[in-house]
Amino acid sequence: MDNPIKKLNKDFESRVRLGVMSVLSVNEWVDFNTLKDLLEVTDGNLASHIRSLETSGYLEVRKQFVARKPKTSYNITLKGKKAFSEHLSALEALLK
Amino acid sequence: MKNSEKHLQDLNEIRQIMERSTKFLSLSGWAGILAGIIAIVGTVAAILYLDSRAISYEALLTMHHEDAANAPLVFFIADATIVLVLALSGAVFFSCRKAKKSGEKIWSPVTKRLLYHLALPLVTGGILVLILVWQRNVHLVAPFTLIFYGLSLVNAGKYTNREIVWLGIAEITTGLAATIWTQHGLWLWGTGFGIYHIIYGITLYHKYERKTVAHG
């Protein structure tokens, strides 16, 4: 039998990254400040985790100006959706 | 063992974050109870007013284009507006208080989404009711406020606690009944906006608020 632990995604070991993926899996285009409020983390901490998720290709970034202020929003990619749902299944399998 | 605890914690946190990021969870049971009481007071005021003028609600509905109906209409519009404003203020006040208690921001994308979905049927119904008053189709005002309010609650159901959907369905049903038996519109309105709100408020309080108080 496959060991479900192997299916756990290392990218989602961090609480912050897990949180970002949770928010993005049920919301489209969420901006940085909303994520920060929801997850209750600092700017720097969130930014570094988001960068690593972006490098893995799990989320896409959109930068725009709203009322002359830069606003960065994030959306989950197909790859991210798949990786996250596999991670969830693995978590559930481990608890059975 | 330690690992499985972490996994369970992870799953719980994921579920919580998903809910928190899609639903406005700061609706307070107290707002429902207060809105219900205000609506009952408003209904009683209307009944007493009609009594004092020795007109029945049924008679008022049939006074088409008669000057005698003007004063009662103005009273009803003022009464309903006061009820609406007070009930809304209560809802805003208790929501802010609850959000503050749980350390959440009141003005978030989730709030905007909830308000948008509430507003669409509500504004439509509001304009429709104004047209009905203007056309002197007064008998449809009570039923249509119930129906459109109910539709707006059901519409908002995805974005807050699910209990609101049941309140919405009850309002719609009562509104349809009031459309059939328009002569009973006044007390059906009082039941829908008064008693249902109180039941809804108590349910919400028992389910979500009492617990948090008990746990400190």
Domains belonging to chain A, first-starting first, are 10-91 (1.10.10.10)
More confident residue, B98 or B2: B98
ipTM: 0.84
Are residues B21 and A23, on separate chains, in Cβ contact within 8 Å? yes
Are residues B13 and A15, on separate chains, in Cβ contact within 8 Å? yes
Write the residue in A26, A34, A95 that is nearest to B7 by C-beta: A95
Report residue B48 as tokens.
Answer: 């007493």
| Beta carbons of A35 and A53 less than 8 angstroms apart | no
DSSP bridge partners of A63: A72
Residues above pLDDT 70, as percent of chain B: 94
Q: What is the DSSP string of B68-80?
A: GGHHHHHHHHHHH
Assess A83–B contact: CB distance below 8 Å, yes or no: no
DSSP bridge partners of A62: A73
User: Which tens digit of pLDDT belongs to each residue from B143-183?
Assistant: 999 999 999 999 999 899 999 999 999 999 999 999 999 99
User: Which tens digit of pLDDT belongs to each residue from B71-97?
Assistant: 888 899 899 999 999 999 999 999 999
Measure Cα distances from B83 to B36, B68, B160, B198, B210 in Å: 10, 24, 23, 15, 27
The 3-state DSSP class for residue A63 equals strand
Domain boundaries, chain B: 29-211
The single-letter code of the amino acid at A38 is L
Report pTM: 0.83
More confident residue, A92 or B172: B172
Q: Is the model's pLDDT at B4 over the cut of 80?
A: no
Report residue B20 as tokens.
Answer: 């928190």
| Beta carbons of B198 and B36 less than 8 angstroms apart | yes
Assess B10–A contact: CB distance below 8 Å, yes or no: yes
- Which pLDDT does position B215 carry in this prediction? 46
For residue B32, give every residue at least 6 positions away whose Cβ sits within 8 Å of its Cβ, in sequence order, or none: B197, B198, B200, B201, B202, B204
Give the 3-state DSSP-derived string for B121-166, with helices as H, strands as E and coil as C: HHHHHHHHHHHHHHCCCHHHHHHHHHHHHHHHHHHHHHHECCHHHH
More confident residue, B173 or B136: B173
